[in-house]
Structure 1
Amino acid sequence: MSTSTPVRPLRLVAVTLAVVAAVGACGDLHAPDSRTGAAPSPPGASSPSGTSSPSTPGASPYVEPGAGDGAPHYGENNAYRREGDMAPAHAKDAEREAARIRPVIERLWKQRKWDPAVVRTALLRLGYEEERVTQDGRRLGGTLTVTQMSPRWKDDGYVTPEGTRLALRVRDHACVSGFVQKSNVEVRVNGPYPETGCLEPPYGH
């Protein structure tokens, strides 16, 4: 008498193997995202640039590369703070003037003198002349600008900190700028700004 092969045990083995295969595949890496050509980032991982991945839920589709705070149109909105280019020869001239100004400003800081009138007098003694500009922005002569610090928002209104900002136009495309205040002092070389010339513009344009 012939015996037939049990059917139910074979089915049970097949189902068991299928379940094991499905569970084993849970830890496998998935294929690269066809939209980007790269494997998806692990959950919670940040991109090399420090900004959110475009596929992150809630991320702005308008974030520009290099945006400082990830805000839309960051580069466009902060173009007024972008320094102009300097030719190497002009930058060298500006460095030479910065070397004259820096020790004067640092000496005033050590003496705790950062009032605009005091700073202006000290810099005029170096032979500079204050820059004169018409209301429409046309320059009439001079190269030195000395002014108070930019107002800043504090508590419920704007306040103007103690201290002085300074700028010297060395060439049409080369400047020296800086500041002296209670906490610190700085003198550096930079290209001119689109709207404020050699004087560094404040934030919050």
Structure 2
Amino acid sequence: MTQEGSSVDGPPNYADNHAYRMSADLSPAQQAKGEASAGLIRYELEKARKEGDVSEKRITASLKNLGCGKEHGVYVGNGFYSVHTGDVCVSGHLTEKELTIQVHGAYAEPQPGMGPCVENRGGH
């Protein structure tokens, strides 16, 4: 049983204690821009996957072909990639078997040193 006006989100203060993992909400316009960027990124990364080269070096080169570098919050590691377009994040995984891609907002407290689009794995 909950008190009126309270939400059920787990143990006391669970939502507050995990707020650092929240990503920003996207407007419809931001979502549309993100989807357009995701399409370009998907095209480049799918070429790498079909060539059989899903190395970090190849992922980085594919993103660089689109003009995405460190200044765009690019992070590549262990098959994971993320890019901040200025409005949104485009992130996912690339393996020999599949390519995933997601459009989302930047994290309130991203993983230190990995750009605004990498979820913080720690706590605060």
TM-score range, shorter chain: 0.7 to 0.9
Gaps in structure 1 of 5+ consecutive residues: 1-52, 55-63, 132-141, 149-162
For residues 183 and 78 of structure 1, the distance between their equivalents in structure 2, rounded to whole angstroms, comes to 32
Of 64, 71, 77, the residue aligned with 2:17 is 77
- The alpha carbon displacement at 1:99 in A equals 0.6
- Structure having the higher strand fraction is 1
What are the Cα deviations for residues 93-113 of structure 1, in whole angstroms up to 9, with x where unaligned?
A: 211111100122233334443
SS of match in other structure, 1:166: strand
Alpha-carbon distance, 1:78 to partner? 1.7
Query: Which one has the largest radius of gyration?
Result: 1
Cα distance in 1, alignment partners of residues 66 and 50 from structure 2: 19
Instruction: State how far apart, in whole Å, the 2-side matches of 1:77 and 1:183 are.
Output: 36
Specify which structure has the higher proportion of helix: 2
| Match among 73, 78, 102 for residue 42 of structure 2 | 102
2:7 counterpart residue number:
65
- CA drift of 1:120 comes to 0.2
Q: Which residue in 2 is equivalent to 1:169?
A: 84
Aligned pairs (5 A) from 1:127-166: 127-128=67-68, 130-131=69-70, 142-148=71-77, 163-166=78-81
> Which fold has the larger relative contact order, with Cα–Cα distance below 8 Å and residues 6 or more apart in sequence?
2
* 1:144 CA displacement: 4.5
Counterpart residue type for residue 7 of structure 2: P
C-alpha distance in 2 between matches for 1:164 and 1:120: 11
Q: Deviations over 1:67-104 (max 9, x none)?
A: 2xx33422122212211022322222211111100122
